[in-house]
Every structure is written in structure tokens, then in C-alpha cells.
Chain A
Amino acid sequence: MSRGALLGWRLAVAAILIALWHIAANTTLFGDPKTVRFFFSTPGDVAARVWNFFATGSIWKHLWITLQETVLAFVIGSAAGILIGFAFAMAPRVAAVFDPYLKMANALPRVVLAPIFMLWFGLGVWSKVALGFTLVFFIVFFNVYQGVKETSPVILANARMLGMNGWQLFRHVYWPSAMSWMFSSLHSSVGFALVGAVVGEYLGAAAGLGYLIHEAEGVFDVTGVFAGMFVLAVFVILIDQIVTFAENRLLVWRPEAAQRQ
């Protein structure tokens, strides 16, 4: 399929879904339109609300807070994951001691931690960062740990024969190997940073996209919920695009990355 045709089909799917929604909310074809409106709102109202968000500028504050939380959770979670991942891969005995505890912590559904984080860090940005951190950290940690351990022994032996010492081996062999593993999970770790932020806001906050949606739900403002979800979805897609761009730049040496270009 050509690019143009693909885009056409994608737009057609959206148009049909919105048209069905519109018909259901304005005619008696699928039942009482009043009930439909109560549960699903209407495309026109949702669009107007989204327009209103940006026209009044009220949305920017929430977007900015959510973006901040996502970036902080991603950066801090990744840094910690890389650090501990390397430390454990280099010190197998320490890794063996901590192994069951890490598995336990990772198996825990992170949502149950949200109230505790709010207690510890308050209702502001940091309790959401903490929640995102617990999600990002484990993804990055496991990948870096794996990346260092799975470094090809032949490449390593060759590097040593070329005269590399400890630091040079780290820089030219271990680090790139670990990074390639970490980047392969970049989409999920960035995604989870965002999930942490939004879920945290949803459970208790004074600003952010999650808060916006939660507020609207509290007063059965279905239009507000759908408008918030729409903005959130576009926000996620934009962030994902940025990640894809970064990935293609950083992993040019990979066969898959080269094929995509």
C-alpha cells in the first residue's frame, strides 16, 4: 500500500467511527439519543471541549505537569536502572543475594504503592514521579543487566587482544552493548513513565491530565472525560514519535534500524 492510500484508509476508519457515534447521539437509529448522549456524549461536544481547552489555554498547565512528571520519572528511573544494572552484572554475588527481593518488588502491582507515595511525597509532582520511577526502573534495570551479561564473549576477547583496559572495555564494549538492550525497550519504558504519571494524578493530584479526567468523571461530565482522553492519546502518540526518532538516530548500526530508513 502506498503512503497516500494508507493515510486515506486510516482517515476513513476514523470518519466512519465518528459518523456512527454522531448518528447514534442524534437519531433514534440505535436507541434513545438522550441515553446515548449521557453515556457517550457527542463528537461535536467533545471537539468543542477540546477546542475550548486550547482556546482558553487551560490545558497547557495540565500538559506541562504531566510532561514534567513523565520526563522526571523516565530520567531518574533510567539512571538508577543503568547504575544498578551495571553494578549487579559486574558483581554476580551481590546480584544473587538481591535477586529474590528484586523479583518480589517487580511482581508487586505498582498501583498499590500510589497512596504510600502520596503520604511520603505529598500530592505534588514527586509522588507521581516516584510511581513512574518504580515502573521505569525495573524495565531499564533488567535490560541493562541482560545487556552487560550477554555481551558477546568473542567481541570481548577481541577487545582485550586489542589492548583495552577496564575503562576502555566499559566504554567501547559493555556500555554500547547494554545501551542497545536498553534502547530496545525505550518505547515501553517511556510509556510506563507516562502511565505512572497519569495513574498517580488520577488517584490524587491538583493538576495534570489524569487529574483532569478524574475531575470530569467525578461530576459525570462524559464530554470532559472523552476530551481529556483524546488529548492524552495525542500526547502519547507525540511522545512515541519522539522516541522512535531518537531510536533511529542512536541505533543506526542495527540491521532493523537501517532497514526502516
Chain B
Amino acid sequence: MELAGVGVAFGAGQNAFRAVGRVDLAVAPHEFVAIVGPTGCGKSTLLNVVAGLLAPVEGEARVFGRPVRGVTREAGYLFQQDALMPWKTALDNVAVALEVGGVARAAALARARDWLARVGLSGFEARYPHQLSGGQKKRVALAQMLIRDPKILLMDEPFGPLDAQTRALMGDVLLDLWSADRKAVLFVTHDLEEAIALADRVVVMSAGPAARLVSQHVVDLPRPRDANEVRLEPRFHALQKAIWEDLRAEVLKTYGRAS
């Protein structure tokens, strides 16, 4: 997937707000790219452009060489906010992703059960979203996204509201599932350590408005990785230091403007 000179503005005329400047970014097949940046810089906006939910005012997004028109069918999207249908049980939320693609209900339910087990939620099939914890909801959403076997994955702070231990666990679950077929991933996070632990490349975004990409860092840590243990390696710390230098400047800009 690829972003070519993408710029996004909200509103029109005098009140238009230029959220994203010109962003060029390409994610190769099988590559896991993480985006970090200060809050409100336009990370979610970029994912929405790739997903086809938002049209850029200039440039274009391409997926497998084809320009994005309407929603990107090949993409699975894990939203920053809760996006499960509250009126469906965990099982139905996952199964419906197959059913709308024409899979028979019985078969869809069987596979949904299987996927819930893979994300560690056996026994929670009949729960409604409001009966699940934050982390459990995210895991249901993960199963819902992956069961369709999308070719590329877009993830927006999927583990954002979780505590540190759960995040590390979820990171492992994700790495496990991902390493099976290594789809192209665009992963947004505000947690630098998480970005380094998971990704092949970390991209730093500048503070908005008209946000750009500031720098890119290739994460040359060997795979398969253990999301927890990799944090102890010296190379990890060197990377963390380097990326934090770039990131801190941008974060300070955001707050400088606010105060």
C-alpha cells in the first residue's frame, strides 16, 4: 500500500483545517510499519484515507497499485474507538464479518468460534460487548478483522486504553497471528516501545496542522520476537533513544502551541 503526496483538509473555504500536509509513505508486502506522532497530528486521518473512508484533497492512496475508490475491500481496520455492534454477541460480531461475504451461517459460526479461541476468548461467545472488558473487546475486534483474511491490516492504537501488561500480552498475540502469513500492516500507536517491539519500520509524524513525516527508522531486530524480551536488548534502547529525539521535538511543539 502506498500514500503519494496525500494531503487532507477538513471543512472548506475560510474555515478549512489542513490536518495533513503532504505525506509519502509506502508499505511493502509483508512489512509491518508503525506510525508514531504527537496526539492530534493526523495518524487516524491517514489510516482513514488508506481505508477509503476519507478522500484526500490532494495526492492519492494506492493499494496494490490501484487508487483507492470507496472503501478498500482488501483492508481490515481495527478502529481506535469501540466499533463492535453492541446488539450482537461476541460470537455474532465475529461471524457477521463472514456472513456478509456470503458464508453460510453455520459455517460462519463455527469459524467465529475458532477465531475467538485463537484470541483467547473461548467461553465468552455469548457475551455482549458491554459485558466484556476493554481488552476483551479489542480481542473480539481483532478476531472480527482477521476472520475475513484481509490482505492488508490497518490498526489504530488497538491497545491504546489497556494497561501495560495487557498491552504486552496483546502484542504477543498480534505478533503470533501476524507471523503466520505476514500481511502488510500499518500500525498507529502513541507507545514508542510498542512500536519498536512490533514493527519493521517506525515512522515519526510531525505535529499538526499540515503534519508531515519527519523521519523513518528501520528496526533491525531479529524475528521472531517476543514483545516483552526484545525490550531488554541494547539495540532496542539505541533505537528508542534515536526515535525519541525526533518524537520529543514534535510533542513539545504540540504542547508549545497549546499553552
Tell me the A residues contacting B by CB distance below 8 Å. Answer: 152, 154-155, 157-165, 168, 172-173, 176-177, 180, 252-255, 258
Bound state CA distance, A180 and B85, in angstroms? 12
Show 5 A/B contacts (Cβ-Cβ < 8 Å), sorted by A.
A154-B81, A154-B82, A155-B84, A158-B79, A254-B130
Decide: A163 near B85, CB < 8 A? Known: A157-B53, A158-B77, A255-B130: no
Tell me, in angstroms, the Cα distance from A109 to B222 when the chains sit together. Answer: 75
Which residues of chain A have C-beta atoms less than 8 A from B131's C-beta? 258
Instruction: Evaluate contact between B81 and A162: CB separation under 8 angstroms.
Output: no
State whether the Cβ of B211 lies closer than 8 Å to any Cβ in chain A.
no
Is B88 a contact of A253 with CB atoms below 8 Å? yes
Chain A residues within an 8 Å CB radius of B129: 253
Considering only CB atoms, which chain B residue lies closest to A180 in the complex? B87
Residue of B nearest to A152 (CB): B83
Could you say which residues of chain A place their CB within 8 Å of the CB of B77?
Answer: 157-158, 161
Name the B residues within 8 Å of A160 (CB-CB).
53, 71
Instruction: Name the A residues within 8 Å of B97 (CB-CB).
Output: 162-163
Does B51 touch A at the CB level, under 8 Å? yes
Q: Is the CB of A163 within 8 A of B100?
A: yes
Query: B244 within 8 Å of A by Cβ?
Result: no
List chain B residues, Cβ under 8 A from A258: 128, 130-131
A172 near B130 with CB under 8 A, answer no
Q: For residues 76 through 101 of chain B, which have their beta carbon under 8 Å from a beta carbon of chain A?
A: 76-77, 79, 81-89, 96-97, 100-101
- Judge whether B75 is part of the interface by a CB distance below 8 angstroms: yes
Using A154-B82, A157-B51, A163-B73 as known contacts, list a sample of 5 further A-B pairs with CB atoms less than 8 Å apart, ordered by residue number in A.
A158-B79, A163-B100, A253-B87, A255-B130, A258-B131
Q: Give the interface centre of A152, A158, A160 by most chain B CB atoms within 10 Å.
A: A158
Secondary structure at the A interface, as helix, strand, loop or mixed, is helix
Give how many B residues have a beta carbon under 8 Å from the other chain's beta carbons.
Answer: 28
A154 to B79, CA, bound (A): 8
> A253 — which chain B residues lie within 8 A by C-beta?
86-89, 128-130
Q: Within the complex, what minimum Cβ distance (angstroms) separates B25 from chain A?
A: 20
How far apart sit A253 and B128, CA to CA, in the bound complex (Å)? Answer: 6
Contact A161 B76 (CB under 8 A): yes
**Complex CA–CA separation, A176 to B87 (angstroms):** 7
Cβ contacts under 8 Å, A159 to chain B: 85
Q: Could you say which residues of chain A place their CB within 8 Å of the CB of B100?
A: 162-165, 168, 172
**Chain A residues whose C-beta falls within 8 Å of the C-beta of B89 in the assembled complex:** 253
Docked Cα-Cα span, A160 to B48, in Å, equals: 12
Residue of B nearest to A177 (CB): B87
Q: Could you tell me the distance between the alpha carbons of A152 and B86 in the complex, rounded to whole angstroms?
A: 11
Q: Does B190 contact A (CB under 8 A)?
A: no
**Distance of B135 from chain A, by nearest CB (Å):** 18
The CA of A180 and the CA of B128, in the complex, are separated in Å by: 15
**Interface flag for B189 (CB, 8 Å):** no
Q: Which of B73, B83, B128 contacts A155 (CB 8 A)?
A: B83
Closest-by-CB residue of B relative to A168 is B100
Q: Which 9 pairs across A and B sit closest by C-beta, in order of nearness?
A: A158-B83, A176-B87, A253-B128, A161-B77, A255-B130, A253-B87, A162-B97, A154-B81, A154-B83
**Is B183 on the interface with A (CB-CB < 8 A)?**
no
Q: Which residue of A lies closest to B130 (CB)?
A: A255
CA A173 to CA B88, docked complex, whole Å: 10
